[in-house]
Amino acid sequence: MPAYAALPAATIAASTASVVDRLLDALHDGHPLSPGDLAALREFGETRARQDISLADIQNGWRIAVREILAELTEAAAASGVADRTLLQLITALLDLVDAAVVPYSGGHRDVEIAAARHDEQFRAEFTRAVLLGTLGPGDLRIRAQQLGVDPEAEYRAYRAGTENAPDSTAPLPASGFVTTVDGDVAGFVEKSRSPGVGGVVGVGPPTRLEDLARSFRLAGRVLTTARLFGRTGTIDLDSVGVLPAIAADTDLGAELVRRYLASLGGGESARTIIDTVEAYLDTGLRIEATAERLVVHPNTVRYRLSRFEEITGADLRAAHTALRVWWAIQYRKTQHAGERRPPRG
């Protein structure tokens, strides 16, 4: 069998002979497997797992062994003149013992596999956290990447998501998964062409080489913060939020722009209608007709609302620098009035 070919014959025989002898002793004496037998069988399964022999290959090996033993029994019974009834009883007892042996050696093999998977998961998680936080030097980064099959020359995208996206901690991560937790958030990285594969709100950083993933992760965190602040959902990248991360980060500037351009409008429905109209006007490239079409109102209504805004605030929306400040103020105001988020109405 290919799985056993890498092991010395003496290594295979040593553990195999021990459990076969125990089975034959139980068969000879007519008693079930003892606690010592069960412990030895469990150790046998653990040993095979550490030797990288799969459970399927172990079972195939056992089937070969059982066939050999049955052939030996049949030949010996014929040579000794043993009655068929006695031989049948002996074979039935042997098969019962083999069935009883399956449980302990399978359990031992499975426990080693689970422990190995958890160790691998922990190693991957520690590597992922170190890469995202930038705590590995270039040499260590390449060594660990090679150990985990990560191409240091490829480009990857870091991501950050809320704890509601955390995977089941009892299940090993998939072989291609590089996921951990950072400050309570789910964090990881994927090849630039792949999706993070987690639900909820996910901030994704720009693609970059492995050694620069810490920068991508910092930007992913800013994107996530921005998405939460502005009520965005799904997987969000920098292209999706534009300069909104700057608005989310510079709260003092945002508050000052709101005071300068929006506070004088008041807080009632009339003020919200004017602000919605100004935002639509800026979004459509300062085009009256396009704004009216979006809001489903007459162009003269748009002109009136814009003139009221400029009259009250003293702002000239046709000046690019002023239009930018007004737009900034409107976006920041949304973070302070989450309950008022709604599509513009006519």
Spatial CA neighbour of 127 closest among 136, 118, 119, 116:
136
The verdict on 13 and 114 lying in the same domain is yes
Answer with the one of 193, 215, 242 that is the final residue of a domain.
242
Residue with tokens 């399964």: 45
Spatial CA neighbour of 224 closest among 156, 162, 157:
162
pLDDT at 281 over 50: yes
Please check whether residue 174 is in contact with residue 124, taking contact to mean a CB–CB distance below 8 angstroms.
no
The verdict on 21 and 109 lying in the same domain is yes
Confidence at residue 344, expressed as pLDDT on a 0 to 100 scale: 38
The C-alpha atoms of residue 250 and residue 230 are separated, in whole angstroms, by: 14
pLDDT digits (tens, 9 = 90+) for 224-261: 999 988 888 899 999 999 889 999 889 999 999 999 99
pLDDT digits (tens, 9 = 90+) for 4-28: 888 898 888 888 888 889 998 998 9
Helix or strand or coil: residue 241? helix
Residue with the larger pLDDT of the pair 122 and 306: 306
Answer with the one of 177, 207, 242 that is the final residue of a domain.
242
- C-alpha distances in Å from residue 277, one per residue of 180, 281, 317, 329, 337: 44, 6, 12, 14, 17
Lowest mean pLDDT among 184-188, 301-305, 306-310: 184-188
What's the gap between Cα 322 and its chain centre?
44
The verdict on 113 and 193 lying in the same domain is no
Confidence at residue 176, expressed as pLDDT on a 0 to 100 scale: 47
The verdict on 106 and 151 lying in the same domain is no
The C-alpha atoms of residue 258 and residue 226 are separated, in whole angstroms, by: 18
The C-alpha atoms of residue 58 and residue 102 are separated, in whole angstroms, by: 10
The verdict on 171 and 269 lying in the same domain is no
The C-alpha atoms of residue 333 and residue 259 are separated, in whole angstroms, by: 10
Total domains present in the chain: 3
The verdict on 210 and 231 lying in the same domain is yes
Please check whether residue 344 is in contact with residue 276, taking contact to mean a CB–CB distance below 8 angstroms.
yes
The verdict on 18 and 101 lying in the same domain is yes
The 10 Å Cβ neighbour count of residue 77 is: 17
Domain harbouring 277, CATH code: 1.10.10.2840
Q: Is residue 135 part of a domain?
A: no
On average, the pLDDT of the chain sits at: 88
Q: Is residue 205 part of a domain?
A: yes
pLDDT digits (tens, 9 = 90+) for 85-109: 999 999 999 999 999 999 999 999 9
Residue range(s) defining the domain that contains residue 174:
143-242
Confidence at residue 164, expressed as pLDDT on a 0 to 100 scale: 59
